Amino acid sequence: MVTIHTNPGSQVAQAAFREINRNLDVTSKAVNTGYKVADARDDASTFSVAQGLRGDVKALDAVSSALSRAVGVGEVALAGAETVSDLVQDVRGKLTQLSNDSLTATERAAYQADLVALTDQINNAIGQSSFSGKNVLTSTTDSVFLSDEAGSTISVRAQDLDTGATTLVGAIVTVPVTNAATGATAQTALDTFETLVNTALGQLGADVNGIEAQQELITKRIDATEKGIGALVDADLAKESARLQALQTQQQLAVTAISIANSAPGVLLSLFR
């Protein structure tokens, strides 16, 4: 039936045109933003899950920063302890030289001056082993850092080589080495300090390795979580681009269909000629 009041063909064409435009809006948004779920209007439940995962990533990023600081504290302390260990070997050589009873007063004074200089270097190495305000070589309290988003912690153990160095200076500098007997006493004090340094090296090395392993785990978790977020909300741009072109073609065809449908009532005019 042909009528001037109702045009069913045009109504169908217009409905198709509206649907194509809605799909075109969705696809254009995906192409422009790179997301198939850019906000809650696109998919409320998926967007909510993605936002929760993004929060997890933020928390893990904060943990990673804390662990980076922990690694810095541990590595600087380890470098300082290694320097002290090397200096201990030099001190041992000077003590051996000073233990020689046949030294002249001038020779003994020169060796003693070298010994004082070495102990000063030990103290400087310990004092300068600070990172971000923390120096475990002068502390008696472990340095504690966040290790996961649940609030667990990991520590760089305190070594307090500072106190040990003070004791060493008292034993080998304050009381000068003048012969083999005093040299043996000084060597015993040096042995005690060396044991302290070696213990520090072992503990610091273990602490740094443990922190780095935890940091690697956190990094892998961040990567995996971000990959999961991408799987939820990222758009396949190759597919969306092809879909966009198809919808644009459909839109043009729908406009043509509406034009054809709208011309149908004009046929009535020919009946009255």
Place of tokens 């504290």: 73
Same domain as 254, residue 119: no
Does the pLDDT value for residue 3 go beyond 80? Answer: no
CATH number of the CATH domain containing 187: 1.20.1330.10
pTM of the predicted structure, to 2 decimals:
0.80
99-147 tens-digit pLDDT: 888 888 899 889 999 999 999 999 999 999 999 899 999 999 999 999 9
Nearest to 2 by CA among 264, 263, 262: 264
Q: What is the mean pLDDT of residues 260-270?
A: 70
Does the pLDDT value for residue 4 go beyond 70? Answer: no
172-223 tens-digit pLDDT: 888 888 888 888 888 999 999 999 999 999 999 999 999 999 999 999 999 9
Provide the CA 179 distance to its chain's centre, in angstroms.
56
Q: What is the mean pLDDT of residues 56-67?
A: 95
Ramachandran class of 233: left when φ > 0, alpha when ψ lies in -120 to 50, beta otherwise: alpha
Helix (H, G, I), strand (E, B) or coil at 43: coil
Same domain as 189, residue 256: no
pLDDT for 33 equals: 87
Residue 177 CA to residue 115 CA, distance in Å, equals 10
* Within-domain flag for 162: yes
147-174 tens-digit pLDDT: 999 999 999 999 999 999 999 998 888 8
- Residue 212: HSE in the Cβ half-sphere, 13 Å Cα cutoff: 11
* Within-domain flag for 39: no
Q: How many CB atoms lie within 10 A of CB 10?
A: 18
* Within-domain flag for 238: no
DSSP symbol at 181: H
Q: How many CB atoms lie within 10 A of CB 84?
A: 28
Domain span at residue 140 reads: 45-233
Residue 173 CA to residue 186 CA, distance in Å, equals 9
pLDDT for 204 equals: 96
Residue 122 CA to residue 23 CA, distance in Å, equals 73
| pLDDT band with cut points at 50, 70 and 90 for residue 251 | confident
Same domain as 30, residue 148: no
Same domain as 218, residue 248: no
From first CA to last CA, the distance across the chain in angstroms is 20
Q: Cβ neighbours of residue 234 under 8 Å, at least 6 residues apart?
A: 34, 35, 36
- Total count of domains within the chain: 2
Tokens of 248: 């644009």
pLDDT for 124 equals: 96
Residue 213 CA to residue 219 CA, distance in Å, equals 10
pLDDT for 127 equals: 95
